[in-house]
A = this chain, B = another copy of it.
Amino acid sequence: MQSHAYYSFEIERLAKILKHMRARVVLIQLPDGLKPHSVYLKRELSNKLPGIRVFFSGKGTYGPCDIAFDEAITVGADVIVHYGHPPIRYAKSEIPIIYMPAKIKVEVDPQVVIDEIAKRRYKRIGLSAIIQYVDLLDVVYNKLKDIGIEVYVGRGANAYRGVVLGCDYSAAISINSYVDAHIIIASGKFHGLGLKIATGKDVLIYDPLRNEVMSIEREYRRRLSLKLKQLIDAEKATLFAVIICKKAGQFNMMMALKAMQLLRESNREYISIIVDEITPASLENFTYVDAFINTCCPRIAIDDIDRFNKPILSLYDLRTILKGEVNQYSLRL
């Protein structure tokens, strides 16, 4: 079903902006899935702007929280081009950032969505999308309107109407009280799961590439049970580690200090670790640590939970175990 889908890199538009900015050295950041297109991007940009020097960041990028500032400074880039995520505001960015959505162009006929809504007898639907599918919002919206369904599209913290991020469902939350269920246009379970956790309502994922609709309920319950198992393990922990993230948009010393204070107040020993990214490899050498407190990306303690062999807790999770309230626990971003 993927035959008619392709990414739009909007090279023409990008080249115009870069020319206007008189950019000489550009650092391009691509999520891992888009890295195979780096050769095409370099070729096209060099054709349009022969004088420009193009570098690619070799790191993954998980969102607008994860901008390659250090890499840009190192190569002397005067502009960062960040593909695949909507912009968010930073306290400081000395190097200008151009956010390019990397939209996926695909023809859709969302009849499967209509069938699923009818089957479940939803009357009022919240509609959102990941940035790649932002152009499909109106297509699906109109189709649902046509058959008399009440549809709501919210506005949130990012620049695009109806668009959600892995950690930001404010667009969907803004309309949550009006709807029976949410439909999100996305591929994979990641954003659907976040939407479920953020809203508590029924969530259906509409994947336009596969032309399929999927409920997130089962995945949500699986994550919840994994998390409960970790909380119960963490209750026995004697040594904790508070993890701080170096990424500009994930660094949260206030949260880390709060975690340290809670641990001190309940006489738990801890160390503090700063990482660029929480991975099994970056934690496995801290062999004596029983449980990690994550102050980085809030999704790690939920989505990557089965990649780690020790508990990874959010500040909320830590509070829950210190207060002995595991029995009343539910997932939270």
Residues 210-246 of A at the B interface (beta carbon under 8 Å): 239, 243-244, 246
**A contact patch SS:** mixed
* Distance in angstroms between the alpha carbons of A27 and B246 in the assembled complex: 13
Min CB distance A218 to B, Å, is 29
A239, B43: Cα distance in complex, Å: 12
Q: Tell me how far the C-beta of A295 lies from the nearest C-beta in chain B, rounded to whole angstroms.
A: 12
Interface residues of A in 60-80 (CB under 8 A from B): 68, 70-71, 74-75
Known A-B contacts A35-B286, A39-B288, A285-B32; A273 and B58 likewise in contact (beta carbons under 8 Å): yes
**0/1 per residue, A29-51, Cβ < 8 Å to B?**
00011011011001100000000
Residue from B253, B271, B282 within 8 A of A42 (CB atoms): B271
Chain B residues whose CB sits within 8 angstroms of the CB of A158 once the complex forms: none
User: Does A97 interact with chain B (Cβ within 8 Å)?
Assistant: no
The total of chain A residues at the interface (CB under 8 A) is: 42
**B38 engages A271 (CB within 8 Å):** yes
CB distance from A272 to the nearest CB of B (A): 5
The answer to whether B39 touches A289, judged by C-beta atoms less than 8 angstroms apart, is yes
Kindly identify which residue among B36, B43, B243, B253 contacts A58, using a CB–CB cutoff of 8 Å.
B243
A55 to B253, CA, bound (A): 12
**A274 at interface, CB cutoff 8 A:** yes
The verdict on A59 contacting chain B, using a C-beta distance below 8 Å, is: yes
Q: Is A83 an interface residue (CB 8 A)?
A: no
The distance in angstroms between the C-alpha atoms of A76 and B271, with both chains bound, is 16
Q: Smallest CB-CB separation from A75: which chain B residue?
A: B274
For A71, what are the chain B residues with a Cβ–Cβ distance below 8 Å?
246, 274-276
A131 nearest CB across to chain B (Å): 20
Given known A55-B273, A273-B57, A276-B59, contact A251–B282 (CB-CB < 8 A): no
> Residues of A at under 8 Å CB distance from B?
27, 32-33, 35-36, 38-39, 42-43, 53-59, 68, 70-71, 74-75, 239, 243-244, 246, 251, 253, 269, 271-276, 278, 282-283, 285-289
